[in-house]
Structure 1
Amino acid sequence: MPFDATRFVVSRSLIEREGVSQSDATRLAIVPSIVQMPLVQSVVLAQAIGRREAPTETPAPSPTGTPQGQTLVPKVVGETYADAVEQLKLARLQVEPEIAPESANTLEVSAQKPEEGVDAADGDRVTVTLSSPKAEVPGVTDQTYFEALVELADKGLCGVPHEPEPVPESNWTVNEQEPSKGKEVLRGTTVTLTLVPDDEQGGPR
């Protein structure tokens, strides 16, 4: 399948930011770099892979006095859906509702039932209320295409080129962006980038 070098570099960087080693990130970044995949999906997939593969701490043992087959409900309010699922899994609990993986990193838990600290039986379900947290659009004009994609991804946003052809290079410069800097939008929003080839900017940056 066609391979996009720019997507590969961005995907590897996003995966490394989750604590994955460089060698593993290089291997894992191949799948999100397939050209046929929409760019938004590539970014979300790279972040999901990074969180899945990142080293995790061994969960603390259950407090003394918790009967066998029982567990305490952890706090997941304020976490992304993906992180909430992982925390509940460590506590031997399930989550309700179940949602599609592509939305797992853009939705945030705003409420939970049962609440934190409540006794529950292994396998019980914790019902969560989800919301789309907002993000402030950063200014990425005058940055390279690669730098802009990474900064936008850090905010939960996805940068896409205004013109899909020709496929932009990672060192092309962002000339304009929409939405503009400082605008408050929902995480997962697409930011359209107008790019200028590097040789039209007077040489390498």
Structure 2
Amino acid sequence: MLAAALRPMLLPISRIAFRPEVHGAANVPRTGPVILAANHLSFVDSFLIPLLTPRRVSFLAKAEYFRAGGPKQWVTRTFITGIDAIPVPRGGYRAAQESLEVALRVLEAGGAFGIHPEGSRSRDGRLYRGRTGVGWLAIASGAPVVPVALLGTDRIQPVGASFPKPGKVTVRFGEPMRFGPPPDGRPGPARRAATDEIMAAIAKLSGQEVAAEYNELSGGR
């Protein structure tokens, strides 16, 4: 598998370029399904988590990232292939639900799946309200959720920057959280409650100011 060959090459590059400081890696189960729910400050977040987590992690990536193109497209495609990214179409409720079902299959196969509950990257450094897809996934799969905080990635590749620059990154893994089926049979409130609990754990790890609203901004870097 191409990803298995690329990851050992990307890992030392990331350690030299970003001097990562990793805390709580022992909280990530080494086997079995697990959801890594992380804050989202930079385009590089979804690259660094799979490289700095002590097991392989899959993230979803826009299908257009996998297409052929110029040198910049080649670099992006090479990196996302090397971190086990899964191509998915974007846009609309149906695409969002299909993405969650892809993630559920990863977990049902015993894999680790990474997700940014905020959706879009934060442009002001605040932690925005989580979307309930992570709650749906946690309850539907029964997999433990490990909250993750990334610090410093917004300085490495700010919104608008085409490529990352060297810098220092800190990654904090929190204690696993579990969410069972709703006892009252009402899935909507249960997903919301689980998502809010996960976001509170991320906020505690990251120290970010918490925003009460969703991050509606999308597109751009």
Is the radius of gyration larger for structure 1 or structure 2? Answer: 1
Bigger relative contact order, structure 1 or 2 (CA pairs below 8 A, ≥6 apart): 2
Fold match by TM threshold 0.5: no
Please give the TM-score of this superposition, normalised by the length of structure 1: 0.25
Determine which structure has the larger strand proportion and give its number: 1
